Amino acid sequence: MSIISDDNDFINISDEKQKTVVKAEICDCDKNFENCIRPKSFDTYIGQSALKDTLKITIEAAKKREQPLDHLLFYGPPGLGKTTLAGVIAQEMGVDIKITSAPALERPRDIIGILMSLQGGEILFIDEIHRLNKVAEEILYPAMEDFYLDMTTGKSQTVKTLRVPLPKFTLIGATTKAGELSGPLRDRFGIIHRLEFYTEKELSQVIKRTAGILNIEIDEKGALAIARRSRGTPRIANRLVKRVSDFALVKYNGKITEPVADESLDILKIDEFGLDTTDRNLLKLIIEKYDGGPVGIETIAAAIGEDVRTIEDVCEPFLLQVGLLQRTPRGRKVSPATYRHLGYKTTNSNQQSLF
């Protein structure tokens, strides 16, 4: 079968094309660091308790009906486990999962090739789904709702419209910017859930589990010390475990304790709030140059030499969450807690000075 692409070229949907789709399965032998420590079941997935309870019921109901799950949309800041959760769902359902990202689906042939390669009940995971282009998004509409692909064959006066049936599948979308999804796409998801930042207790459990998998010796207080500086994010916590373990191995006996964790994270310039150099530079800029704000995001990005998207996606979510940064109609401004944390004091005229 051939279809007409956006540039009027003919596309052959062949077995060879289908083989180019990357199939990412959950496997214990994966030697990649992140895949090695990813939980494989709800029993080992820590945090997001409300979402887990909902998904357990939904999965059990789908199994009893012998039908695929409804389409799911997960949103929230990066590093909270959206991809991991998709893998856990596939494992619990006993089906394969194909993983891709929206920027990789530039042309109609890309999304069509993946959809036609799916088997009944399989899961398709699309990361950063808010970045899907309009053509790919419209191809997904009938595929998600009616499990059909609308395609054209032939050319000129012989063009015909075909509806190609697809096996029933589950689409899991993940995004850090749910507000940028179009209404028609968002409405086609049966389950929409925001992933929350982790508590220090939950992060401590994540850290101890990761340390056990990597054969790193750590005590309770050492895990809590790392958790306090992990910005409520498991991905950051796992990365810090590796860095602190290197420090402990070289300068101490290899065991991570509270003093070892605190000293190593101080050397890495990660403070007790979990702020790094970029975060502190951003907050100090607003205080010292703009009297605490408000100031526009483009001005901040130019002044500290960072990309606007990096500030919005990496720095701001946590700073907003802990109340160190505020968004106003006129721009960003810092809170009184920021002055205290960075060692500044204010006067009634909103001027600041170092202690």
Catalytic residues: 82-83, 127, 176, 235
Contacts of 271 (CB under 8 A, 6+ apart): 229, 280
Report how far residue 42's alpha carbon sits from residue 239's, in angstroms, rounded to the nearest whole number: 22
CA dihedral over 173, 178, 180, 184, signed as positive or negative: positive
Instruction: List, in sequence order, every residue forming a beta bridge with 127; answer none if it has no partner.
Output: 101, 174
CB atoms within 10 A of CB 213: 13
How many CB atoms neighbour CB 339 within 10 A?
17
CA dist 318 → 67, 188, 269 (Å): 39, 30, 17
Query: How far is 181 from 188, CA to CA, in rounded Å?
Result: 11
Q: How far apart are CA 315 and CA 236, in angstroms?
A: 13
Q: Residue 278: CB partners within 8 Å, gap ≥ 6?
A: 304, 306, 315
Give yes or no for a contact between 19 and 174, defined as CB atoms under 8 angstroms apart. Answer: no
Residues in the chain, how many?
Answer: 355
